[in-house]
Amino acid sequence: MKLTDNEKRDVIKSIEEGKDLPERFRYLLFQNAQKVEISWEDKTSELTNVCLPFQIIEHIDEPREEKEVKAQKSFDFAKGQKLQGWTNKLIWGDNKFIVSSILKGPMRKIIQENGGVKLIYIDPPFSVGMNYTIPVSIGSDGNKYDKKPSIIENFAYRNMWGKEGNSFLQMLFERIALMRNLLRDDGVLVMRIDHHWGHYAKAMLDEVFGKEHFRNEIFINRTKKNTQKNTRQMMLTTSIESLFVYSKTDEFEYLDTSYKLEEVREGYWRAADDSAGDRNPPERTLNGKVYYPPKGNHFQFSQENLEKKHAEGKIRVNKNGRIQYYVEPSAEGQLDTNWTDIPGYSFSTKYPTENHEKLIERVIKAYSEEEDIVCDFFNGSGTTAAVAEKLNRKWIASDIGKFSIHTTRKRLINIQRDLKEKEFNWRAFEILNIGKYQKQHYLDDGIYERDEGKFLARQRGEKLFEDTILEAYGGISVENFKTIHGRKNDSFISIGPINFSVNREYVNEVITECLDNKISNIDILGFGYEMGLFPKISDEASEKGLSLKYKQIPNDIFNEDAVKNNSINFFDISYVGVNPQFKKNNLTIELTDFKTFHNFDVHQANSNSKKSLNLHVENGQIFETRKDKEGNLNKILITKSFVDWIDYWAVDFDYQKRKEIIYIEKDDGSFDEQWTGQYIFENQWQSYRTKDQELELVTPPIEVITNERIVAIRVVDIFGIDTLKVVKVTK
């Protein structure tokens, strides 16, 4: 580095005055800055370095039994077996904080002990015009409506187009840089992107990984194309997307290339009733049907060869009556980067951008081996996790949408059941929560800690955060209270702890302060609530003349625009009614009621018909609103029973047997184990809606030897919002 005296003085002066250095010094001071880079407004290369604790909220291990669940055996080992050791992980939260917390926290050691992350596949929401609504079934008639993503989903990932894509590129840049650090030395990242953003993404990936670590661009030429015609011109919409493949280092090799050219191609042998066929070529028979090749066809299979390939499973007749056959691998085994046999989007789980499993299977087989860890931090419908489980890979998947987590949970349970039925092994998986702790980093995301003293910065941040919550709730701040922070009309407001769930101790402090100050109405706002807190403590407060209401602070609170636009909705806590019944030593749980008290008008929806409709949720009921021919607005009740609200419910027959432990980083970089005061929900039985089955409302009997048992019931509603109820049952 050679600087003139004047240049040295300019650098020193800029630093002393706290100013940014002129751009020319970037190239004078840093030799690596000579590489080609992509730039956008508000670009920053600083990455979050937070380390948040992961909270295990559910453990799922195909425990469901159609018959009795025995006291000492939660599921039958006769068919299949749970693989010991690694437990797969499905994480709810912003992947920026998730990946950072894995990198800096104790989970990284667990990952390294299991071989490290070999493959990261991501499919970020890249299309500006893409429709990310999700069909949900509402009501006993099975009508389907489109659920739009929550405000927080839009804010974090999906519609970040306020600055013409700058925010989208920044979102990707900081996350991919973190993901690169998570890969092991021979690890690979594969990103799917389309023609709108592929050229920008390629330049950005070159910058993060280094151009020398670019390995391939694979073209996905989907088999279905659409055309749109108007009076002026014919519009052809492309179905070609790209997979960009990057390795972390030079320690890279292709794996399992032998299968790659075994792509399905269609022959042109047609059934005998095909009037377009040419009857001159010799006929062929398959499964008792006569087939002829059309004119100009050159695939002249002999009858013997045709039958042989069909017996080997290399030939089949598709639904259109066309014979399909597999192309044999070439001797060289070279990878064809133009994949023309990938079907369109799957939609098997009704997710708008659900990839076909065939695409993910090919990627996983190409860049990982059995027992490797595969990650997908834009989980969506859970296709990567599903295929990884089938291919005996370990996996980590995450998404910021609760609906995504719930959809994946059901999908993986089905796979566990299927593997068990086929007597194959499977792995347990756990659902982890990081979203509950992200509120800490509304205050401090670990990037700018050096700017101020940490304690003073956090104090200012907490006050700002409380003011933001009060603004969103429509309240005003009050002073000189310990647990009371604001007031709204005749009710006072208490904002629960920022770092932990609202527990009985905190509520008792609120009750005491209210009674001492002759306050008769209080609303407690919290991000989460201690299990089993309701309704007993509310009844106790009511007996003392205090009306106590609990409100859930939504994750949308982190969106400044949503706060300013008064579009934040605070939900009341849902109610779950159950009826435990003992017959001798056998316990069954019946689901008898479910009430949710949402009052919001944000789930605008479209039915499957062409008419545009709206949904309105009011006092635990869903109404469909539509205009009649005279223009009058009519409300039609959709939810006619509590069952119409429920998509899924599960039972832990022995709750409180496994404490929930989180790991808190200390100043010296080590970790302390802390019990959160809560327990892990062990999913021992579940029932959920599918297109082929109704919701069961009574569990099979479980044998209980003790006289008392703590049981937990988890209910997930049709919008993906979950509620946990804990009950004590006695014989």
pLDDT at 721: 76
Does 520 fall in a domain?
yes
Range of the domain at 16: 5-34
Q: What percent of the chain is modeled with pLDDT above 90? A: 25
User: What SS3 state is found at 728?
Assistant: strand
423 conformational bin, left if phi > 0, alpha if psi -120 to 50, beta if neither: left
Q: What is the pLDDT of residues 217-257, one digit of tens each?
A: 988 876 544 444 444 444 444 567 899 999 999 888 765 43
From the list 87, 91, 52, the residue with the least C-alpha distance to 405 is: 91
The mean pLDDT of 488-499, rounded to a whole number, is 86
Residue recorded with tokens 């933001």: 468
Tokens of 103: 């990198």
Q: What is the pLDDT of residues 268-292, one digit of tens each?
A: 343 334 444 444 445 566 666 665 5
Residue 147 above 70 pLDDT? no
Q: What is the pLDDT of residues 663-717, one digit of tens each?
A: 877 778 788 888 877 788 999 999 988 766 788 999 999 988 888 889 999 998 8
The mean pLDDT of 444-465, rounded to a whole number, is 62
pLDDT at 259: 33
Confidence tier at 601 by pLDDT (50, 70, 90): very low
Does 492 fall in a domain?
yes
Are 169 and 200 spatial neighbours (Cβ–Cβ below 8 Å)? Answer: yes
- Domains in the chain: how many in total? 3
Does 271 fall in a domain?
yes
State the amino acid at position 651 in one-letter form: V
* Cis, peptide link before residue 343, omega less than 30° from 0: no
Are 684 and 652 spatial neighbours (Cβ–Cβ below 8 Å)? Answer: yes
Does 482 fall in a domain?
yes
How far, in Å, CA of 570 to CA of 321, rounded?
55
- Which of 296, 326, 356 is the C-terminal boundary of a domain? 326
Beta strands in 222-293, from DSSP E residues, in sequence order: 226-229, 234-237, 240-247, 264-266, 270-271, 284-286, 289-292
Does 729 fall in a domain?
no
From the list 533, 553, 571, 596, the residue with the least C-alpha distance to 436 is: 553
Does 501 fall in a domain?
yes
Residue 375 above 70 pLDDT? yes
How far, in Å, CA of 646 to CA of 623, rounded?
16
The packing angle between helices 357-367 and 383-390, to 10°, is: 60
Does 248 fall in a domain?
no
- Which of 543, 571, 599 is the C-terminal boundary of a domain? 571
pLDDT at 609: 46
Mean pLDDT computed over every residue of the chain: 75
Does 489 fall in a domain?
yes
- Which of 274, 309, 326 is the C-terminal boundary of a domain? 326
Are 92 and 429 spatial neighbours (Cβ–Cβ below 8 Å)? Answer: no
| β-pairing verdict for 394-399 and 373-376 | parallel
HEC-encoded secondary structure of 1-15: CCCCHHHHHHHHHHH
Which residue pairs from 253-259 have beta carbons closer than 8 angstroms and sit at least 24 positions apart in sequence?
Answer: 253/186, 254/335, 254/366, 254/367, 255/365, 255/366, 255/367, 255/368, 255/369, 256/365, 256/366, 256/369, 257/333, 257/334, 257/335, 257/366, 258/329, 258/333, 259/329, 259/365
User: In the structure, how many helices (H) and strands (E) does the chain have?
Assistant: 16, 40
Are 3 and 28 spatial neighbours (Cβ–Cβ below 8 Å)? Answer: yes
Residue 57 above 80 pLDDT? yes
Residue 625 above 80 pLDDT? no
Q: What is the pLDDT of residues 518-535, one digit of tens each?
A: 999 999 998 777 655 655
